[in-house]
A and B are shown apart, each in its own frame.
Chain A
Amino acid sequence: MKRGIGWLSAGLVFLLTASGVHAVTVAPILQSRQGMVTAAHPLAAAAGAEILEKGGNAVDAAIAVSFALGVVEPYASGIGGEGYMVVVMADGRELAIDFRSTAPALANYANLDKAGKLSDIKYTPKGYCVAGVPAGVGKALELASLPLAELIAPAIRLAEEGFEVNTTFARVNMDAYETLLENAPGFLDEGLPWAAGATFRNPALAKTLKTIAEKGIDVYYNGELADNLDRFMQENGGWARKSDLQAYRALAKTPIKGSYRGYELSVPGSPVGGPRILATLNILEHFNLAIMSWDDPLAIHIMQEALILTSLDQRRWMGDPETNPYIPERGYVSKDYARQRLMQINLAKASDPSTWYSERVGDPGPYQDGANYVDVMLEAQRNAVIEGATGDAPPSTTHFSVVDAAGNAVSWTQTISSFFGTGNLVDGYFLNNELGNFKAKPEEGSPINLEPGRRPRTTIAPLVVRKDGKVRWVIGSPGAGRIGSTIVEILVNVIDFDMSLENAIRAPKFTGYDAYKAIQLEDDYPQKTIDLLVEMGHEVKRYPHPDLYFGGPNAIAVGEDGLLTGVGSIRRQGGAAAPQLHEEK
């Protein structure tokens, strides 16, 4: 069902060549051989490219982008937030740094009962989990080559000098107006939301970043910044204390490995969405999607059903491996388990959402140690049953990607959960509200029951894709429950449908997630595609195309000849930036 596609890019790409000029080039889509940074805001991407231009590596640049995003997108991430990154170094070193937030010691069900429902505290200091971004930066610094102060400098400059508010900032600010008016009126522009075109400065955050630059990451967890947070929490009824900050650690792990049609994927493990990406691709690998097209209703149906199966499993089984005795992650991402799961897909008919939790949750446990699916299925057909589902994940978050000229790659997603997090501002940064990602009430066996020190589960999935050992794509996205489907669709678009990265991102997206009973899709599919999906039993909900709801991936493609193509988020006014290094003589 291929057709003329209105969204298809005309291929307007800026190609950089070494010009001998010290500068950084920024554009929505960019090509370069000197290194590449893509981020949800062009100024943040430029901050990373500036560091590359100064001789920093991809990790240096990524740290600069992380701090800069906290300034130019204060609503989506920052030092009051958390995240996960995957680092693949050209020398073969690989690292998955888990800087997810943790529940404070006072955050338990007994105290929650006294405070009300989990939803009641979402926009209060009680909704905060101990932030991990600074500790994640601290861990990443072990792979960096430049001093911390140099990497923070662009963010300090942006916070002090200010920048022009774009329409995304203005829209998000308007949507959160009530919360900000109540929790952080000083953030507003004299009582009103920041309008596009206004100049936004954040001197309080600049001061905080300077403190970190001068005294190091430890000042956030053990020093005056920890004291400030502790004071704020005690004065405003929050649960976090300085002792929680002192106990926090970012964790350096090995990425989870998987493959799809000969490509190698490195993803972060549970409790984030990396394993689900692998589990979904394991199922899709059994279908010849390449002979279909992006708008083929059968392809959409197969992907939707696979995504539902893997999200049901994720919800039942995945959680923080540090605080849960049993997380069957190896079974979940095994190829054999995928064979059993794909048998659940009816090629002619949509699954009934009313049966999802009662009949379609799988059990990856028997595959933990590499069992063959024939043996497992002959032994027993196992179906776990769970009741209900947790709420939809938040829509905020930001992702950025970096590849340097040496081939080092960083895929980094960070968040404060909801846009503006709790809406509470301390030392110029917003506090996350990750606590809402735990179970509202304890449920026996749930891996996301609220427990002090536990990391909540979320859907983020920064990843690196390689072929024959060489980095080909660095991808990730914000978008809550849409993250998994958006990333899978991009991968299928580039691998199966042979699209350029730009077109893979630009192509209309649909959701596949158990929290959504309907397929939600961007409104650029042919009517016949939608008609057949409805005929197959899918409920279809349409959105404009493109819509920020479906995420804002910022990704980089590495050509076989080493040419880097950066694509800034089309749905979020993102940008790509590259250094213009001196040509070596």
Chain B
Amino acid sequence: MKTIFSRMILACVAYAVFSTASFAADVVLTPFGQSPDAMMVKVVLKKLGVDARLEKLLQADELQDEKVLIIVVAGSSKGLGEAGIDKDAEIARMQAVVSAARAKGMKILVMHIGGKGRRGNLTDLFINEAVPMADALIVVEGGNYDGLFTTLTEGSDLEIIPASSVRETEAPLQVLLTEWGVLQ
């Protein structure tokens, strides 16, 4: 807990982070499963100086000139309900977005940041769809507790990049985004 002053600063930061950016960003971010986790990734990206565009229901024709698509995977029944979309439509949305991103030559990063608490039948359905789409994969500790990600990446070149917490995804994000030309 911070002081009142630092709280005010944080509130301002939060407002700035979650306001829609009015310029084309290098990174576009979307949840796969409609959990709020993508917002957390946006906060981490902000710390890296990356103004990512967050679109909860990003469509294929809404991709701009971004270099990187980040898919934050975690199923939320509440989120799907609020978004007015079912799991099949969510999967179809993501397949179309990834297909369009591939056509544009974008890099695709899949992230699971919720640990064991963000696993379950619904999330696993989306994970199974998402992992084969990835150029890179970041998984926060606990998310691979049963080896699901290990199984899905077996036989491919895809490596699981671990992080101990959401905050600790900053380092691998920095490496990947530098490698992909977003950061200098």
On A, residues with C-beta under 8 Å from B are 167, 170-171, 174-175, 177-178, 181, 185-193, 195-197, 200-205, 428
Residue-wise, chain B 1-16 has the 8 Å CB interface mask toward A (1 for contact) of 1111011101101100
> Is the Cβ of A191 less than 8 Å from the Cβ of B43?
yes
> Is the Cβ of B36 less than 8 Å from the Cβ of A178?
yes
CA distance A197 to B36 in the complex (A): 22
> Is the Cβ of B1 less than 8 Å from the Cβ of A185?
no
B75 at the interface (CB under 8 A from A): no
B104 at the interface (CB under 8 A from A): no
> Is the Cβ of A178 less than 8 Å from the Cβ of B39?
yes
Instruction: Given A171-B117, A174-B118, A185-B7, answer yes or no on A195-B166 (Cβ-Cβ < 8 Å).
Output: yes
- A235 → B minimal CB distance (Å): 14
Interface residues on B, range: 20 to 34
Question: B14 contacts which of A167, A171, A185 (Cβ < 8 Å)?
Answer: A185
11 new A-B contacts, CB < 8 A, other than A181-B18, A191-B13, are A174-B117, A174-B118, A177-B37, A178-B39, A185-B11, A190-B10, A191-B14, A192-B40, A193-B166, A202-B1, A204-B1
> Is the Cβ of B36 less than 8 Å from the Cβ of A188?
no
> Is the Cβ of B10 less than 8 Å from the Cβ of A185?
yes
> Is the Cβ of B10 less than 8 Å from the Cβ of A191?
yes
Q: Which residues of A contact B40 (CB under 8 A)?
A: 174, 177, 192-193
B44 at the interface (CB under 8 A from A): yes
Q: Which residues of B contact A192 (CB under 8 A)?
A: 40, 43-44, 166-167
Q: Which residues of B contact A187 (CB under 8 A)?
A: 1
- A436 → B minimal CB distance (Å): 15
Q: Which residues of A contact B6 (CB under 8 A)?
A: 186
Q: Which residues of A contact B165 (CB under 8 A)?
A: 195-197
CA distance A264 to B17 in the complex (A): 58
Q: Which residues of A contact B118 (CB under 8 A)?
A: 174
> Is the Cβ of B39 less than 8 Å from the Cβ of A177?
yes
> Is the Cβ of A181 less than 8 Å from the Cβ of B39?
yes
Q: Which residues of A contact B166 (CB under 8 A)?
A: 192-193, 195
Q: Which residues of B contact A193 (CB under 8 A)?
A: 40, 166
A-B contact pairs, 7 of them (CB 8 A): A170-B117, A174-B117, A174-B118, A187-B1, A188-B10, A191-B10, A204-B4
> Is the Cβ of A186 less than 8 Å from the Cβ of B1?
yes
B114 at the interface (CB under 8 A from A): yes
Within 8 A of A (CB), among B129-163: none
CA distance A205 to B40 in the complex (A): 26
CA distance A201 to B2 in the complex (A): 8
- B57 → A minimal CB distance (Å): 16
CA distance A178 to B36 in the complex (A): 6
Within 8 A of A (CB), among B11-60: 11, 13-14, 17-18, 36-37, 39-40, 43-44, 46
Residue-wise, chain B 89-118 has the 8 Å CB interface mask toward A (1 for contact) of 000000000000000000000000011011
- A74 → B minimal CB distance (Å): 9
Q: Which residues of B contact A190 (CB under 8 A)?
A: 10
- A210 → B minimal CB distance (Å): 15
CA distance A190 to B12 in the complex (A): 11
Closest 8 pairs between A and B when the two form their complex, measured CB to CB: A186-B7, A195-B165, A171-B117, A191-B43, A185-B14, A178-B36, A202-B1, A185-B11
Minimal Cβ-Cβ distance residue in B for A159: B1
> Is the Cβ of A186 less than 8 Å from the Cβ of B117?
no
> Is the Cβ of A195 less than 8 Å from the Cβ of B167?
yes
> Is the Cβ of A186 less than 8 Å from the Cβ of B44?
no
Minimal Cβ-Cβ distance residue in B for A200: B1
B1, B2, B18, B165 pick with most chain A CB within 10 angstroms: B1
> Is the Cβ of B36 less than 8 Å from the Cβ of A177?
yes
> Is the Cβ of A174 less than 8 Å from the Cβ of B114?
yes
> Is the Cβ of A189 less than 8 Å from the Cβ of B117?
no
CA distance A114 to B14 in the complex (A): 30
CA distance A193 to B44 in the complex (A): 11
Minimal Cβ-Cβ distance residue in A for B76: A175
- A420 → B minimal CB distance (Å): 14
- B11 → A minimal CB distance (Å): 5
- B112 → A minimal CB distance (Å): 13
